[in-house]
Amino acid sequence: MNEISQSDFVFTEDFAECCREEYSNYCLHILCLSGAARFAVGDTLFNVIGGDAIIKSSGKPITIIHCSKDFSIKALLISWTFLYANTPQSSYNTIGNIATTQNPVMPMQQADLDRCLLNFEEIRRRLDHPYHNFYADVLRRAVETMIFDFYDIHARMTHQNIEGVSQASRILQRFVTLLQEGLYKKERRVEYYASRLFITPKYLSEACVDVSGYNASSWIEYFTTQEIAHLLSDRSKSLIDIAYELNFSSPSYLSRYVKRVFGCSPSDYRKRLK
C-alpha cells in the first residue's frame, strides 16, 4: 500500500490559500458556509453562494474575481498523489470527475453540507492519530466515505442515473470500457469508437449526452487530459516521449493541446508540481 504523508492533506478556511499555485496539484473540496463569491477557471466564470460546494481537480487554476465580506468556507485539499492511488472504484467515478471539470460548483441541501462537514472532521481526526494500528486503512476509508457522499450529492442534484439500464446507458458503458482499455492513447476520433460500437458518431454522442450530459469528444478529452497530467508528473519523460506515447503528430501540437486544456504550457505545468 502507498505511504501516507501529512502533506497530502491541507485544511484551510482561506479561499485565497486554496488558489495558490503550490496547491495546483491538489484536488480542492471547498464547502461554502455563507456569503457569495465569483471566480474564474481559465476563461470561464462561476458564481458560488453559501450552501454550495466547489470541487476542483488539478489543471487550470482558480482566479478569484470577488468575494462578499461575509463569504466563509471550510476546505480540504488532497494531493493527487494520494487520490490517484486511493480513489474508490465506482461506475460514477469518471462521470463525477468529468462533470466537476466542466462545472466545479455543486449546489447542496443543508443536510448535505452538514454531512460533508462531518466528513472533513472525521478525516482530520483520523489524520491526527497516526499511532492507530490500522492508521492508513481507516484514513483511506474516511476519504472514501467523503468521496462517495460527494458522488451521491452530485447524482441527486443533477439527476444522474448511476446504474443505467437504458440503451444509451449501455452504449456509454461500452464506450467508457474502450477508453479505460487505453485506446484513447492512439485514437481520439469519435468516428473510431462509433465504428467499434457499430453505431454512428452522432448516435454515440447523443447517447453520451443523454446519460452523462457530456458528448463523446468530452469523454475522450477527459481520459487524454488525465493521462497527460500523469505523464507530465514523470520528469524523466520528454515532450517527445509523451507526444509519441499518445500519438500526437509533434511535441508542438502536444504543447498547444496542453495549453488549451490546462491553461499553461507543459513546462509551466511541471513547475507547479514542484
Residue 143 and residue 225 share a domain = no
Kindly report the CATH number assigned to the domain that includes residue 59: 2.60.120
pTM tops 0.85:
no
pLDDT category at 270 given cuts 50, 70, 90 is: confident
Q: What average pLDDT does range 95-123 have in this prediction?
A: 87
- Give residue-wise pLDDT tens across range 215-236: 999 899 988 988 898 898 888 8
The predicted-structure confidence for 25-63, as pLDDT tens digits, reads as follows 788 999 999 999 999 987 789 999 999 999 987 666 789
**145 in the same domain as 18:** yes
Are residues 228 and 119 located together in one domain of the fold? no
Total domains in the chain come to 2
- Mean pLDDT of all residues in the chain? 86
- Domain containing 148 equals 8-158
Contact 143, 78 (CB under 8 A): yes
Task: Say if residue 152 is in the same domain as residue 178.
Answer: no
Radius of gyration for the chain, computed over Cα atoms and rounded to the nearest angstrom: 19
**Quick one: 86 and 53 in the same domain?**
yes
Taking the C-alpha atoms of residue 213 and residue 261, their distance in angstroms, rounded to an integer, is: 19
| pLDDT at position 108 | 92
Provide the pLDDT for residue 171. Answer: 85
DSSP summary character for residue 166: S
